[in-house]
Structure formats: structure tokens, C-alpha cells
Structure 1
Amino acid sequence: MTHLITHVSDMVTLADGDFPNPSPKAPKGLDKTFGDWVAWAKWIAVMAGVLGLISCGIMMMVGRRNRSHLAAEGASGIVWVIAGISVASLAGGTVPMLFGA
């Protein structure tokens, strides 16, 4: 196994490093369609976040008396809902920034 690793290492050393690295490009006609899909996914994520915050509020209201565990679950759920909304809304800008799109 080490013999194979040595050969691979030698091949990498011999390569001059001028490998093509083109930026991503959508196929013709697909860029608008994919943009629509991303917009729909973000809309669904925002609506799911709104419903999630409403359900957390309901859990906190119902769990106020003699169901403190339910109220605590609702309160801790707020953090997860906000984190999920943040990830979904920042994905469109973060991924192209990281991968140079």
C-alpha cells in the first residue's frame, strides 16, 4: 500500500499544477428555471419557519400550567426554528461565495 502511495505522490509532484478550474455555468435555459426553484424553496422555508414559530408559541401557551416540559420544548424550539430560517435564507449567498460561483 505504501508503494502505491509513493507512486501517487511522485505523480502529483511531477504535475505542474496548471489544471483548469472554470467557474460554474448553467446550461442554456436552465438558469431561470433553477432560479425559480431556489426562490420557491426559500419561500417554503420561510413559510415553514413562520409555522414553526407559531407552533412554538402555542406549545409555550399550552404548557404554561402543569405542563412545564411542553413549555420548555416550545421555548427551546424557537432557537432551532430561527437557526433553520437563517441557514435557508443565507444559503443562496453563502454557497456561491465559498465556491466562487
Structure 2
Amino acid sequence: MPRLSVHLQEAAHRLLAAPGDPEGGVKVPDPAPAAPPGLEEQVSTLIAWGKWGVLVCGIAGLLICGGQMAIGRKNRSSFAADGATGIPWVLGGLSLAATAASIVDFFFA
């Protein structure tokens, strides 16, 4: 059975080998990202609106967490704890939004 597997691998390699290529394999094109003509400005505006929306949500999230902590200070310790545990999530979301372009650029550059 292992011998059949080797024959299948060799046959697949020969089928996929590019003509004149001693190492074989299919050459897949990998062009750089490019915006469709005329859409660069609209997409930049959409991204800017998204960043603004995340900023507003981050401010609201931190205010809500602070409010929960202030309200839960007396006799509602679990409510205060929920507010405190929400802060890292809000900061994590803001950090991800702030570094999103860099993260995508790292994988596509």
C-alpha cells in the first residue's frame, strides 16, 4: 500500500509540474492589493467612519464600566466587579482597532 501512495504522489507532481520547470509546481500569481479605480476616496471615507465609530463605542464602553463601578460600590459588589472586568475588553477592542491597519499590512506586505 505505501508503494501506491508514492506512485500517486509522483503522478500528481508530474501533472502539476510547469513545462521547463525542474522543480515542478504550479505558478500562482500573487499581485499586490489594488483598489478599484475611483473607489479609493470612498473606501478611505468608510474606514475613517469606522474608526470614528469604534472611538465613540470605546468612550461609551469606558464610561459604562466606570458607571457600573461607581453604582456598585455600595452593596452591589458584583455590579462593580462586572464594570472592572469590562475595562480590559474595551481597551483590547480599542487597541485592536488602532492597530488593525498595521496588522493587515504585516500579513499582506
Q: TM-score, normalised by structure 2?
A: 0.78
The CA distance in 2 between the partners of 1:25 and 1:18, in whole Å, is 21
Which structure 1 segments of 5+ residues have no match? none
Correspondences of 1:13-92 after superposition (within 5 Å) = 14-15=24-25, 18-92=27-101
Q: Report the 3-state secondary structure (helix = DSSP H, G, I; strand = E; otherwise coil) of the residue aligned with 1:14.
A: coil
Q: Cα deviations across residues 63-83 of structure 1 (Å, max 9, x unaligned)?
A: 001110000010010000000
- Which of 6, 21, 44 matches 2:9? 6
Percentage identity across aligned positions? Answer: 37
The CA distance in 2 between the partners of 1:43 and 1:8, in whole Å, is 55
Which structure 2 segments of 5+ residues have no match? 18-22
Distance 1:63 1:29, change over 3 A: same
Distance 1:9 1:74, change over 3 A: farther
RCO comparison, higher one (Cα < 8 Å, 6+): 1
Letter of the structure 1 residue corresponding to residue 24 of structure 2? L
The CA distance in 1 between the partners of 2:12 and 2:57, in whole Å, is 49
The CA distance in 1 between the partners of 2:108 and 2:67, in whole Å, is 40
**Superposed displacement of residue 94, structure 1:** 1.8
Q: TM-score, normalised by structure 1?
A: 0.84
RMSD after superposition? 2.2
The CA distance in 1 between the partners of 2:11 and 2:74, in whole Å, is 67
The CA distance in 1 between the partners of 2:9 and 2:66, in whole Å, is 60
